[in-house]
Amino acid sequence: MGCLKTQSLEQRTRTFDLGETAEVPRQDDNHSPRDHQARDREQPDTQGIEPVPEERERMEEPSQESGGPERPVETERVGRQEPRKSQIKWPPSNADKAWEQLDEDLEGILESVLAGSVERKIEAMAEMVYSVGLERFGEKPSGGGRKRSEQPNRRERERRQIRKDLKALSNRWKRAEQSEKEALSKLREDLRTRLNSLSKAERTRKKRKERERRRAAFISNPFRFTKRMLGTKTSGKLTCSVEEVEDYLRITHGDSNRETEIGDLEELQDPQPPTQEMDCSEIKLAEVRAIIRKARAGSAPGPSGTTYQVYKKCPKLTIRLWKLIRVLWRKRKVPNSWKRAEGVFCPKQENAESIGQFRTISLLSVEGKVFFAIIARRLLNYMMRNHYINTSIQKGGVPGFSGCLEHTSMLTQMLEEARAGKKDLAIVWLDLENAYGSVPHQLIKTALAKYHIPEQARRVITQYLDGLQIRLTVNGMTTSWQNLERGIVTGCTISVILFVAAMNLLIEPSTRQSRGPKTRSGVRQPPIRAFMDDLTLSTESVLGARHMLRSLDRAATWARMRFKAKKCRKLVLRKGKLCDMLQLEIQGEKIPSVSDQPVKSLGKKFDKTLADVQNVKEFRKQAGEGLRKIEESNLPGKYKLWCYQYGLLPRLTWPMTMYNIPLTTMEQVDKKISKYIRKWLGVPPGLTSVGLYSTTAKLQLPLTSALEEYKVAKVRAQATLDNSKDAIVREAGIKLRSGRKWSVAEAAESARSRLRHKDIVGVVAQGRLGLGAGTTAGQRWKDAAPIVRRKMLQGEIRRQEEEKRRAQAVSQGVQGAWVKWEQARERKVTWKELWSWEPLRTQFLLKSVYDLLPTPANLKRWGKESEEKCVLCGKRGTLSHLLTGCAVALGQGRYRWRHDRVLRVLAAALEEKRVQMSGRKQRRLRFVEFVKEGGKGKRRGKSAIDEGLGILASAGDWDLRVDLDRKLTFPEEITTTNQRPDIVILSAKTRQVVIMELTVPWEDRMEEAFERKAEKYNELKQSCIEKGWKTWYYPIEVGCRGFVGQSTWRGLGAVGIKGRKRKVVTKNLAEAAEAASRWLWMKSKEHTWKI
């Protein structure tokens, strides 16, 4: 073993000299789970990362392997000189080649250099990954830095000089004679005018710069910009010194009774032995991959400097990590580097200064988080299978339960029933003081022992808890490593289940002190509810609440924890009315009443009104404030729309779910939101809301109605409660309230009825599809799982809302004219398109589709003009007339110009396909074969479908001719005619010809245009057939406002343009028609036409 140690040490020393495993002496830029940044100055590299030989020997003491108590050196002062690692600028996730090369290189390097104990190997691996990544990809820029002071510009220097001159003139005017004062006053007036002009120009410049800055900040990271704009404002700088912070950490996380066993609590009953043992088998590769796959790729790195993204993109590195942690689990060891956490202080409010106004965010090594996440998952499964966690009481940290929703809905239901039935009820909200940071490790160890956790898992967890250390960054300086003698690290993956197990010991004795209330449905509720450390007592009498509080008092004292009475609240009802006369205490302190100050628990606020009147007011205020902040953000309208859709609307969803908001109130909020959306889109206030939110209209915007989200959120919450895994919640008969106009329960039942009816009806044929064609299999209600049923209910509610919008559109003669566009295909506007479009384009598209452009006919209808005549021809100037029906515009060639622009796009797509097919082997046309009952159809490959079903794939000598600039002459070798179709594609070898005729009509008249053009060229088609040519004729319609006809879609597919390419071509055709019509509209009042 000595030789092995020497070889390992030599290898590590040699690698360190090559710069491959040496820790770069820079400070880490990002130490938070998301975007919080902490910067530190670069420390001198006199302190290396390798421990001294004596310290290394202590790390390898047998006590670690045996799981004995292991405490690091008390508050190592050398820790302050250890630099934090800077973040690496890892390649983006889609850079597959870079990640693949990194994985290959790391595998080769690690295979040759790793040696020694497993702890040394895994630490060396992390160092190697970091060093190679830093050398290859470089350091991630901090993005901050000290802001350079700007020098005053020319305008500011002139303003300063003018102010000096004005001051001098004022003094001179006071001393001047009467004959001079008039001239001095005139000079002073000129200077003031110049100063005002300069000030206005400077304010304009600053506003422009601010708009540019905010726009750049939004584009660089829209989610972060929106979060900072709409989220809670936090700011401040910690005024404490590093020494004061270290003293605070010693007081907060120090425990003089750490080594003293916690003893037994008489009221605490020992849990029954497990019926199913915990899984202590070898860690499997599938478990490691599952943890890494679920983790956020953007999580900030810990002390190792490596992120989850590295393991997500490097499968070979993941396998090596699995092999190492498998050995660690087998030997019951935890590397020292996994026991250290980096942390930063983040303000909890605005202008924070004292240490109590900050919270800490801690980061641990990714490798350790993966290891402990696997143990945590096994431990949770063990606790759940043996029913050690009562999910009716504790819903925090337990997957599969909507804990906040179920607890708050149950409390709301009990309050409403007590008020309506004039019953007695006592509710107490309890708050543990610094619960996560003060839970004793002895309590966790006691919980592990009482719940019969296997020795192997207990030894690993105990070894981990006994070595925890943390250091924090304060104003650019880093504290020394501080021992975490009590409390848990919030970023640790195993801390949640450990905390839940410890809290179970506090809660369990109190559950036998009193009974919970009984609901109207006859279900007895538990007397206490918990979500992690948030405890809520609910009893039928004050006496029962006092018994439970005494039990919790004894349990908390036994566990060496304290309740913060000033943050606790009580609510007592006597015969359905609020009573503040009865007092309740916890650990010798009186508990305030909700009459004195409301309490917010699990996302819902409770006050003395026992209703949601004040909450509804705050909801309306939140919506109004959010809209105001977005409006004042100095962003273009298209970016404001995004801020609403992905910033404000999600923030309104939670209060819409939790509070009893009447439908009338929600309709008013929705109208206000729609008003702002129209303003940001630049459309008139009269635009129907159908055009904003419809999902089946011909023009669909990527926006969602707040009213629709309100109904969906309510039904989703109702379905969650009705199908809860907790039988007590499921059978309690909770009914969410939403006013008198609309009932959540009735809406949910109606949606279920419609889904059951669909199961009975089955699959129906749609359009011209035959039996069995297209998508015939869908999710059936009777076979769906609970989570799928909840999604189906939400979809059905959305369909019902869309049906209402559709019915509203049918009743609108002008703005609902699109319902008659039967031959036009839908057009969905994406966020990418909306961001890239200029406001003029967006406004024209919306106004033209819903006939809101200021045409002569509309101006007269709105009372703005007395006549409605077209400027060019004198007829009624509707939008249809201006874009497609004006005889003067037709004679001037305006419509022909638009037609040719669209035709060029179509011809370019066909030419590209023709070139692609030229010279290829001739393929015969293939048709869909009918399959008899019991028979099997022949399977065709993708290439056969793409080429065999297209006309252009049947020959290789196609010749494309296009009627641009009126130069097309129909090929005489086919037939003689004076007709000039827009496109002729012919193959002389196979004697085939494809004829296409393009029309750019008004969308209402697409079908009419199709029939007219089909009749016009029918004789030409028959003449070609009589001459022995195989002939296809396809009328092509592209609406003048940018909506492609179904005939265009079929024609492109017939010639072989399919799949994604067909979507691109139709999009280009639509954009060409729309752009040309927009230009025609802008020139509609000019008598002359020149291009």
Q: How many CB atoms lie within 10 A of CB 192?
A: 13
- The tokens describing 1040, both together, are 């003048």
Return d(Cα 869, Cα 879) in angstroms, integer.
12
- The tokens describing 578, both together, are 């609020």
Q: Tell me phi and psi for residue 465, to 5 degrees.
A: -65, -35
Beta bridge partners of 478: 473
Tell me how far the alpha carbon of residue 842 is from its chain's centroid: 26
Return d(Cα 680, Cα 846) in angstroms, integer.
13
The single residue listed with the structure tokens 């993005």 is: 143
CB 840, CB 734: distance < 8 Å: no
Instruction: Give which of 680, 655, 1080 is closest to 882, Cα–Cα.
Output: 1080
Return d(Cα 338, Cα 676) in angstroms, integer.
51
State yes or no: pLDDT of 941 exceeds 60. no
Angle, helix 154-175 to helix 178-220, in steps of 10 degrees = 160
Return d(Cα 277, Cα 293) in angstroms, integer.
27
CA torsion 916→919→920→923, rounded to 10°? 110
| β-pair type (958-962, 983-987) | antiparallel
Residue range 733-755: mean pLDDT, rounded: 93
534 φ/ψ sector (left φ>0, alpha ψ -120 to 50, else beta): beta
Instruction: Give which of 857, 844, 905, 845 is closest to 698, Cα–Cα.
Output: 845
907-to-440, 557, 1034, 1068, 1090 alpha-carbon distances in Å: 77, 84, 14, 12, 24
Per residue in 121-145, pLDDT (tens digit) is 999 999 999 999 999 999 988 655 5
Q: How many CB atoms lie within 10 A of CB 377?
A: 18
Tell me how far the alpha carbon of residue 792 is from its chain's centroid: 21
Return d(Cα 365, Cα 388) in angstroms, integer.
30
Return d(Cα 315, Cα 310) in angstroms, integer.
9
- The tokens describing 469, both together, are 């250390």
pLDDT band at residue 566 under the 50/70/90 scheme: very high
- The tokens describing 1091, both together, are 């291009």
pLDDT band at residue 1075 under the 50/70/90 scheme: very high
CB 35, CB 47: distance < 8 Å: no
Angle at 614 between CA 610 and CA 620, to 5 degrees: 145
What's the confidence (pLDDT) of residue 5? Answer: 37
State yes or no: pLDDT of 79 exceeds 80. no
Residue range 154-168: mean pLDDT, rounded: 92
pLDDT band at residue 925 under the 50/70/90 scheme: low
State yes or no: pLDDT of 173 exceeds 50. yes
What's the confidence (pLDDT) of residue 706? Answer: 97
Return d(Cα 426, Cα 706) in angstroms, integer.
36
Return d(Cα 1009, Cα 1071) in angstroms, integer.
20
- The tokens describing 579, both together, are 């009573």
Give buried/exposed letters for 70-99 (b at 16+ CB in 10 A, else e). Answer: bebeeebeebbebbbbbbbebbeeeeeeeb
What is 602-613 written as a DSSP string?
A: TTEEE-TTSSSH
CB 83, CB 43: distance < 8 Å: yes
Beta bridge partners of 432: 563
Return d(Cα 36, Cα 32) in angstroms, integer.
5
Percent of the chain scored above 90 by pLDDT?
69
560 φ/ψ sector (left φ>0, alpha ψ -120 to 50, else beta): left
What's the confidence (pLDDT) of residue 235? Answer: 79
Please enumerate in sequence order all residues whose Cβ is within 8 A of that of 740, keeping only pairs 6 or more positions apart, or say none: 662
What's the confidence (pLDDT) of residue 23? Answer: 36
Return d(Cα 340, Cα 470) in angstroms, integer.
6
| β-pair type (699-700, 992-999) | unpaired
Instruction: Give which of 536, 514, 538 is closest to 432, Cα–Cα.
Output: 536
Residue range 378-400: mean pLDDT, rounded: 94
What's the confidence (pLDDT) of residue 768? Answer: 64
The single residue listed with the structure tokens 């006050």 is: 607
Residue range 972-979: mean pLDDT, rounded: 90
Tell me how far the alpha carbon of residue 27 is from its chain's centroid: 30
Average pLDDT, the chain: 87
Q: How many CB atoms lie within 10 A of CB 390?
A: 16
Percent of the chain scored above 70 by pLDDT?
88
Q: Tell me phi and psi for residue 361, to 5 degrees.
A: -120, 125
What's the confidence (pLDDT) of residue 923? Answer: 59
Where in 247-381 does DSSP place strands (E)?
Answer: 340-347, 358-363
Return d(Cα 865, Cα 286) in angstroms, integer.
74
Q: Tell me phi and psi for residue 426, to 5 degrees.
A: -125, 125
Return d(Cα 105, Cα 163) in angstroms, integer.
67
* 537 SS3 class: strand
Q: Tell me phi and psi for residue 524, to 5 degrees.
A: -80, 125
pLDDT band at residue 148 under the 50/70/90 scheme: low
402-to-385, 651, 729, 1009, 1073 alpha-carbon distances in Å: 19, 18, 11, 56, 51
Q: Tell me phi and psi for residue 826, to 5 degrees.
A: -65, 155
- The tokens describing 367, both together, are 């490798």
- The tokens describing 970, both together, are 């129909």
Please enumerate in sequence order all residues whose Cβ is within 8 A of that of 1015, keeping only pairs 6 or more positions apart, or say none: none
- The tokens describing 564, both together, are 């913060």
What's the confidence (pLDDT) of residue 927? Answer: 58
The single residue listed with the structure tokens 């393929």 is: 923
Widest pairwise Cα distance in the chain: 118
Q: Which amino acid is at 520?
A: R
Residue range 778-783: mean pLDDT, rounded: 85
Residues in the chain, overall count: 1091
* 574 SS3 class: strand
Helices (H), 632-689: 637-643, 649-658, 663-681
What's the confidence (pLDDT) of residue 848? Answer: 96
Higher pLDDT, 923 or 555: 555
Return d(Cα 508, Cα 387) in angstroms, integer.
13
Per residue in 200-250, pLDDT (tens digit) is 999 999 999 999 999 999 999 999 999 999 988 787 788 888 888 888 888
636-to-214, 232, 702, 808 alpha-carbon distances in Å: 10, 23, 17, 31
Q: Tell me phi and psi for residue 562, to 5 degrees.
A: -135, 150
What's the confidence (pLDDT) of residue 770? Answer: 61
Return d(Cα 626, Cα 651) in angstroms, integer.
9
Residue range 302-308: mean pLDDT, rounded: 91
